[in-house]
Each structure stands twice: as structure tokens, then as C-alpha cells.
Chain A
Amino acid sequence: MLDRALPVLDVQGLKTVFKTRGGEVHAVNNVSFDLKAGELLGVVGESGSGKSVTMMSLLGLLPMPPAEIRAGSVMFDGEDLLNVSQEKLRSVRGGKIGFVFQDPMTSLNPVFPVGYQIAEPLRKHMGMSKKDAAIRAKELLELVGIPDADQRLLDYPHQFSGGMRQRVMIAIALACDPQVLIADEPTTALDVTIQAQILELMKELRDKLGMAVIWITHDLGVIAGIADRVMVMYGGQVVEHAPVQELFTNPQHPYTSALLKTIPSISGERAARLTVIEGQPPLVVGPPTACPFRDRCAKAMPVCALKVPPRYEIGEGHDTACFLADPLEVANAG
């Protein structure tokens, strides 16, 4: 069913730069991917690889300036979200596409009760009355597992723990039954049991509503358990993209292989932040001219410093941006 479905979201050639005093930071370089209805796409990559910036670019949520979207298209609902009116964009945000941000401690407004903050999108997108919105807000809080939802609606964010705030954020994102949910490390602040609950909830909603999910995480263990496909990012680029089984059993990009080695051996234990690979992630000032991973790559070839590797298709739905996948380049390198 998944393969036949048309993509709900189709991103092509996305380029996002930040104009800073130190020069142009090319945070997202030529990123393309698609998302089908009811599918869960995992996005992994170490800190600073451009995962959050990519997702925020889709909905125009970056501060501009300094951010600027240089190129690309984001097709959703038959329209390019990079080229629609503000009005249209607002109707998509929070309505058809829900967004869970990375930092739950600061992502809620401190001076409004959480009930009000959950009700806001309901009133805007679903045209609910105050009363209906309050009822639905309570249901949503229960859905994400917050006890005493009735009373907690009137509480302010500072009265919730980090994990509970994260769940409130998820409730807000799910409020209007979105077609697409973009979740930026939604479970990092949660303990394992709650994390499992949220994962269960996601699967359930995906099956029930046909909701598609983009799940950003550092935790490859979570990805293995929940994702259909995985996209690995590095230095603002997609370096490998494959169905989840394929990625874990047959990784092609040296970065992916290194990542997989960082998974802790005892299953179920949470993965540490992915910084255990030798070397530092690159600072992407100026447009990329070479493979971003070459300095940390054990298998680097001369060509890696000369041009940006294209994404080589190497199997069913599996591609990698590495010259090792190109027999010609490998032969040249001798």
C-alpha cells in the first residue's frame, strides 16, 4: 500500500543559507526527499547536520533574515509551499502539518495556560467554539498521557515537567488531525516508558488517520523500531536514504556505517548523542565544493575533495551520496 501511495509531501533541491557576519552558512544543501501517506520517515544525523533547519524551511518557520531559502520546491496538496501566500501557508501550519519542536522547555508561551495554547489551533483551523475546543483539548491531553487533564488545562507551562511539556507540544501538533506530523526529537526529554507510549500513539494515529510522520532523532534504536524509511543527513546534505531494514543491514555510506557502530550493544538502552565518531562535524561556510564527510572518512579518495558526490541509486529505494558507489570513480582512484 505504501509504495503505491502518492507522496503527500515532495521536497526537491532545497537550499537554505544563513547570512551571518562570518559569511554564508550553507545549512541545507540540495536536499530532496518525499513522504507518502501513512509513512514514517526517520531522519538521523549528528548535531548541526541541518535536520531542524531543513524541516523548518518547509513551513517558512526560520527567521528571515538571517535565513534565506535559495532554491527548491516543497509540494504539498498540489502547491509549492515555498511559493504560496502567507494566508495559505498559515492554513497549512498547525492544520494539515503539525510541528513538534526540539526544545520543550522554551517552546510553550509562559504566560498562557496550556489549555489555551492547545485550543488556539483548534479554534483557528477547525472553527471550534471555546467550549468545544476546551473539550477537545482535554481529550488531547489524555491522548498524550497527561493525568488529571481537566485541571491541568488551566495550568501554566512552568507547572509542567520537561517531559510533560513535550507531550503538550505533541498534543498541539496533533490537535487538528494533521496529514503530516514533523517531530523534531520529540522523545528526547522523555523517559523510556513514556517514550514507548508516544511511539505507540504515533503508530496508532498513523494507522487510524493515515498520518505521515517525519521523525527526527539521534536514537537509531527508535528509528529501527518505528520508521519505514530512513534519511541520513550530514553537513546539510542527505548522504544516504534507504528502507529501514536495508539501511541497517546494508549501509553504503561510510558515515552511516560509523553511525550504526555507535548504537549501544545492549538493546533497549538509549543511544548516546552521535558524537563518538572521530573528528568534528564540518562548518559549512560557503557553498559546498566537496564531500562534507571526507576529512573524517577512512575511505576517502582524491575525488572526494574535488566535487560534491551526487546521490547514486544503488537499489530499490536506496541511494547514497558517496563516490564509492560509482565504479568509475573507484577505478580512477586505483
Chain B
Amino acid sequence: MLTFTIRRLLLSIPTLLFIAFVIFMLLELAPGDPMAQMPLTIPPEVKEKMRLALGLGEPWWVRFPLWLKQFFIVEPQYWIDGIFGTNFADGAQRIISFQSRSPVFETIAQRMPQTLWVVGMSYVVGVLIALPIGIISAYKQYSVFDQTGTFVSMIGFSVPPFFSGVLLIVIFSVQLKWLPSIYDTTHQVTSWDTFLFQLKQMIMPVMVLALQTTAQVSRYMRASMLDNLGQDYVRTARAKGMTESVVVMKHVLRNSMIPVVTVIALGIPAIFGGAIITEQIFKVNGLGQLLIIALQGNDIPMVMTITFLLAVLIVMMNLIADILYGILDPRIRYD
């Protein structure tokens, strides 16, 4: 298993380099000009100077390796320096945002907690709701519970977050005035009341994202449970006199979780993608919103970095899914 992990980690390096190159070239070839949003009164020669100052005068085969160097060497150095007070970076040039002129990673570090709170929480909530629904739906197949679950997850699948999000805002913020419609990111949790407020403002974005997760994961869980409930070993467990809870929650669940764990791991990058839209709707100033603004402003270093981080997440989750598969299923041996 260890050699497998190391081999896969090494293999992911060329994959990621290739992805980085593709993203870079896509941004390079895309129409758009970082200067487009500058006031028209700025004379063209000044604009040209600003372009040069941003490093845009160099051809791509110079800028791409530079970005790689900054991403993989300079930024980790600054990170280590920040933690241990060392001076590895030695004033090297960091990845700088075109818009804010500050290091990209500093902005990302500021925005990360909001996204992690909303996205992470919604994923955990979604999965925790989905698993029991899937289990019960399968065990009581075609019951009222199962039918309701099917209906709700159909909604979760087919209604996009930009619709369900706006609908929730109209109902709970505009009509009922129970929940705030805008996520206040400056809010600090210091007391019980502020904690309650934080909960209140998180409910809607979390629910919108969790609905999608719940819909998908509960379907997988149900299908996987049904698959296993019909297996011969279930009959053996019953013939041994095991109670239904042991049969279902131990024998069947242990087997059913194997494919579902993979789905859960692989779903993590996707939920970050979904957060881009949800954050826009609820005005959460997280990574999703940051990416949208960077895209609109042709902030190439920012877009490049965030997109690449997502790619890293996808590759890592694939690896984790494979490792978990090997741990959960004794029949799988990687080496």
C-alpha cells in the first residue's frame, strides 16, 4: 500500500504539470486584457508600461516556467518562513494578483476559511443526512419513506443551486425575515449570541449545497445497499441468528460503504465547484467569489492559481479514494 501511494504520488506530478500547462495556455489564448477595466483616460503608452510592469511583456515560455517556480518553490518557502521565522524565500518574487497587486496566496488564505466553513459544513451535513436516508430507503424499498427520498433527491438533482438558493432567500429572508440574505464575513464568533447569528447566516448556503450532496450520496448509498442486501452472505448472517441491526449495519453496510466512500471522496472537488455559484448568491466572500471577480477582471495569476489548486484537489481526492478502497476492501491488493 505504501509503495502504491508513493508511486501514485510520483505519477501525479506529470499529470499536474500537464494540467497547469493546459490551464495556462487556455488563459493565454483567451481574449481579454487585464487593462480593459482601467479608465479610458489613461493614455495608451502608460497602459503599455503598466502591462510591462505586470510581466506581460515576456512571451509565455518565459512566464509559464516562472509561474511554476513561484508556485512550487517560492510560495512554499514563504509559507515555511511564515511558520518558522526562517528566511528561505530571501525576497523572491511571489505570485502577484493583477488586481490587488498583493500576493495571490495571501488573498486566498483570507478567503479560504469562509469557503471551508460553508462548503465543508454543507458537505459534512449532506453526507450525514444522505447515509441514513440511503440505508433506510434500501432496507424499506418502495416504502413511503423510500418514495419520499426518491422524490426529494430528484429535486436535489434537477434543481440548480442558483434557483434553490434564490427561492430560499425569497422565502426565509424576504417573506419570513427569519434569516439574513447576505453572509457577513466580518462577523466574529465571540459569544453565544454571535454563535447563533453565525449559525443563522450559514443555514441557507449550507442547505443549498447540502441538498445536492444529499441527493447524490443517498442515491449511491441506496443502490449499493440494495446490491448487497440481495447477496448470499446476508442470508448466512441471518442463518447464524444475527439480529437485523447486525445484519444490516454491520454485514451489509460494511460492504456497501466501499463504493460510496469513493463517491464521497470524488465529490469533494465537485462541491467546491458548486460553491462558486452558491457563494455568489449568498454573497459569501469565499474562494468561489474570488474566482469570479478574478475572471471578470482578467486577473490571470489569481485565476491560474485558484484553478490549479482545484486541479490539485481533484488529483489528491482520486488518490485518496483509491487508497480508501484498498483499505476497505480486503480483496483489493495494490502491490
- A contact set with B: CB distance below 8 Å: 56, 59, 61, 63, 86, 90-95, 99, 101, 103, 106-112, 120-121, 124-125, 156, 158, 169, 172
With a CB–CB cut-off of 8 A, which chain A residues contact B200?
A: none
> In the complex, which of the residues A95, A101, A111, A158 contacts B241, with contact meaning CB atoms closer than 8 Å?
A95
Interface residue count for B (Cβ, 8 Å)? Answer: 22
Question: Contact: B235 with A107, CB < 8 Å?
Answer: yes
Q: Is B187 an interface residue (CB 8 A)?
A: no
Question: Contact: B236 with A169, CB < 8 Å?
Answer: yes
Question: Contact: B240 with A124, CB < 8 Å?
Answer: yes
Q: Is B328 an interface residue (CB 8 A)?
A: yes
Question: Contact: B331 with A108, CB < 8 Å?
Answer: no
Question: Contact: B330 with A107, CB < 8 Å?
Answer: no
With a CB–CB cut-off of 8 A, which chain A residues contact B329?
A: 110-111
Question: Contact: B241 with A121, CB < 8 Å?
Answer: yes
The CA of A107 and the CA of B232, in the complex, are separated in Å by 5
Would A110 and B236 be within 8 Å (CB), given that A125-B241, A156-B330 are in contact? no
Question: Contact: B239 with A106, CB < 8 Å?
Answer: no
Chain B residue nearest to A56 in the complex (CB): B235
Q: Can you list 20 A-B pairs, Cβ within 8 angstroms, ordered by A?
A: A61-B238, A63-B230, A86-B244, A90-B242, A93-B240, A93-B241, A94-B239, A94-B241, A103-B232, A106-B232, A109-B233, A109-B254, A109-B255, A110-B329, A111-B254, A111-B328, A120-B240, A158-B330, A158-B331, A172-B240
Question: Contact: A106 with B231, CB < 8 Å?
Answer: yes
- B contact set with A: CB distance below 8 Å: 230-233, 235-244, 251, 254-255, 258, 328-331
The CA of A172 and the CA of B126, in the complex, are separated in Å by 40
Chain B residue nearest to A109 in the complex (CB): B233
The CA of A59 and the CA of B240, in the complex, are separated in Å by 11
Question: Contact: A110 with B255, CB < 8 Å?
Answer: yes
10 other A-B residue contacts (CB within 8 Å) besides A86-B244, A158-B330? A63-B230, A90-B243, A93-B241, A101-B239, A106-B231, A106-B233, A109-B237, A111-B258, A156-B330, A172-B240
Question: Contact: A109 with B242, CB < 8 Å?
Answer: no
Would A92 and B232 be within 8 Å (CB), given that A110-B331, A156-B330 are in contact? no
Question: Contact: A111 with B330, CB < 8 Å?
Answer: yes
The CA of A99 and the CA of B329, in the complex, are separated in Å by 27
Chain A residue nearest to B328 in the complex (CB): A111
Question: Contact: B233 with A120, CB < 8 Å?
Answer: no
Most buried by B among A63, A111, A169: A111
Question: Contact: A90 with B241, CB < 8 Å?
Answer: yes
With a CB–CB cut-off of 8 A, which chain B residues contact A112?
A: 251, 254
With a CB–CB cut-off of 8 A, which chain B residues contact A92?
A: 241
With a CB–CB cut-off of 8 A, which chain A residues contact B239?
A: 59, 61, 93-94, 99, 101
Would A156 and B331 be within 8 Å (CB), given that A109-B233, A120-B240, A124-B240 are in contact? yes
